[in-house]
Amino acid sequence: MAVTLLASACPPPVVPSGLVWPEDCYAGTDSPDVAAALVSGRDPFTPSWNQNAAMLDLATRSGSGGYGLVYGGVISAGVGLLASVTGAVALIDGVVAKKTFASLALPASQPRVWIWFKQDRTLQYTTTTTKPTAKCVLLGSLATDGSGVIAGSIDTSGVVYFASGVFFRETADLGQPSDSPDASVRVVTKTLGGLFWWDGGQWAMVPKGFAWSKDVIPAGETVVIPSGAQQSIFGTLSVSGRVTVYGKLRVTS
C-alpha cells in the first residue's frame, strides 16, 4: 500500500482514554469496554465475572500500551463511492475483532477521506484528520471524485500498527517525522530518512545509519543520513552498497 503523506498531514496516534475501573464493574456501576460482561441477576457470579473482564481489558491495554492495528483492515475500492475493508483485529483497550464488514459509503469529491475501525466493531470515515469521538484506530485513507475512489489514492500513511510488542507507523517525511504526538504515546516511525522513536517529548533517531567508524559500505547494504543529520569521514569512503544522503556528508582526506 502506498505511503505518500507527511506525518503532519496525518491523524496523530490515538491516545487511550476513559479508563474502566475493575472495582466499579464489581459494584455494577460500570461495565468492561470490550471483554464480555454478565447481565445483572446472575449472582453470585456477576460481580466477580465483570471485575475479571475489566481486568482482562486492562491487561490488554497495559500490556500493549496503546491503540493499534494488529491484523487486516486492508482498504480497497468498491463499486462507485464504496470502500471495501477486510476483516480486522485491533487493540482498542481490549482485543477488538471483526471478520467481515459491509461496504462503507463514502462522500464524493473529497481530497482525503480517513477510514477508522471503532471499538464497537464498526467503520466510520472522517474528511479531516480529527478522529471520531469513539475509541478507534486508523485503517488508512483515500481520495474520491464525483463517482468513486480515485485510482492509486489509497494510502496507509500514519496508520499505527502493533507487532512483536512495538507500535509503529510509516510516513513520507524525508527525515524526522514532522509531527509531535501526545506525550503519553510511544511509537516508532519509519520515514524516507530512517527510523525514529518518539519518547514522549522528542524524536530520536534509531541507530541505523553510519556508525562513527564505518567507512566501508559493503554490497547489499544501504545506509541513510537523514535530513538534519551530518556525518564526517576522515580518509576514504568505500561504497559498494548504497548511501542515501538527505542531510550532510563530508569526506576529508
| C-alpha to C-alpha distance for 94 and 61, rounded to whole angstroms | 6
pLDDT of residue 31: 84
Q: What is the pTM of this model?
A: 0.76
pLDDT of residue 208: 63
**Rounded mean pLDDT, 37-58:** 74
Residue 180 pLDDT exceeds 90: yes
| C-alpha to C-alpha distance for 58 and 55, rounded to whole angstroms | 5
pLDDT of residue 169: 97
CB 10 within 8 A of CB 171: yes
What's the pLDDT band for 35 if we cut at 50, 70, 90?
Answer: confident
Q: How far, in whole angstroms, is CA 137 from its chain's centroid?
A: 8
What's the pLDDT band for 38 if we cut at 50, 70, 90?
Answer: confident
| C-alpha to C-alpha distance for 219 and 21, rounded to whole angstroms | 55
Residue 212 pLDDT exceeds 60: no
Q: What is the mean pLDDT of the chain?
A: 88
Q: How far is CA 70 from CA 12, 74, 89, 191, in A?
A: 18, 11, 5, 20
Q: Please state whether 196 falls in left (phi above 0), alpha (psi between -120 and 50) or beta.
A: beta
Q: Where are the domains of the chain?
A: 7-14+69-204, 22-64, 216-252
| C-alpha to C-alpha distance for 223 and 211, rounded to whole angstroms | 10
CATH topology of domain 7-14+69-204: Tail fiber receptor-binding protein (2.80.20)
pLDDT of residue 163: 87
What's the pLDDT band for 128 if we cut at 50, 70, 90?
Answer: very high
